Amino acid sequence: MDDLLTDVTAGVYRYGVRDDRGVAMDTLKVIGDPAGGYLAVYHSRPRRDAFTVHLARSDDLITWRHHADLDHDASQPTIAALAGQGFLVAVEAGGAGRPAWLRVHHYPTRRALLDARPARTFDAPHTLVPADRYAEGTPHIAYAAPDASVVDLGFHYFRDGVVDRQGAGRLTDLRHWESAADPALDAAVEAWGARGNIGGRDTARVGSEWVTLIEGQLRPRDWGSWRVFRYDRGSGKAWPLAFRTHGGSTAFANPTVTFLQAPTGMDAVVVTLFVFSEGAAPGEAGPLLFYRELKID
């Protein structure tokens, strides 16, 4: 499984992913579109102190057409299709010097998503750090009930104003929020020498196997020391993933993983990453998307 997640050279890939406007699709998360094709959420930074979250569509997983702006003064988006109907989009809200917080948008139909019209939006209160000082953000959707009545989120919080560490929370009826720190996940990544931030993560079921990817920074303030780890909740262990790019890039973060159907109709695993320039080979910096087709027994 790890080879499927790490060998860019063996699959279909694109370095420096951009939409049809030429905007870099930073922190993109890809899912299948129930109507056919694919959807992705991502952010851009039109101003130094603010981000915008976007929605794009694709027929081939490589060429993307911008469709809508979903949120402003927000970043680090993720998206999940509900088993019933509709979609959830979670973001890190905040900008212009305001400490970030978690925000969840519920779109009851595909049309509502395409029109950027959420039926409900929930802004989570800070629970692990002071709201007026430190951030809680970079969400991932670990579970969502078909009607969105229960949503489990992973996220990071700025522990003691020093480093990002992991938290997990539950949103009930899109109204009630409770969360706690996730020290077991922190410890699994720290065991590999991560002394900087531990931030974004993502989880997908690939056949019968659960895959969780998480970013960890080996040294504080060293962008070239970002690495991606795979975590096994059952054993409580993590291990570093050795990505193979065409030029030998070494610094990766913002991992996402999705199991879906490739344009050929075959099952496939899609991985997206951000390749930091401090560890990038020529032509490989920025958002990276690649996928591998596979057979699931």
Q: Compute the distance between CA of residue 268 and CA of residue 32 in angstroms, rounded to an integer.
A: 11
What's the fold here for domain 2-293? Tachylectin-2; Chain A (2.115.10)
User: Which of the 8 DSSP states describes residue 72?
Assistant: E
The answer to pTM > 0.95 is yes
Q: Is the pLDDT of residue 297 over 60?
A: no
What are the boundaries of each domain within the chain? 2-293
β-bridge mates for residue 204, sequence order:
211
99-138 tens-digit pLDDT: 999 999 999 999 999 999 999 999 999 999 999 999 999 9
For residue 96, what pLDDT is reported? Answer: 65
Region 245-250 average pLDDT: 98
The answer to whether the CB of 103 falls within 8 A of the CB of 93 is yes
Q: How many residues does the chain have?
A: 297
Interval 6-23 mean pLDDT: 98
Has residue 268 got a pLDDT over 80? yes
Separation of CA 152 from chain center: 14
DSSP 8-state secondary structure symbol assigned to residue 99 = P
First to last CA, the chain: 13
**pLDDT above 90: percentage of residues in the chain:** 94
Q: What H or E segment, with its residue span, contains residue 195?
A: none
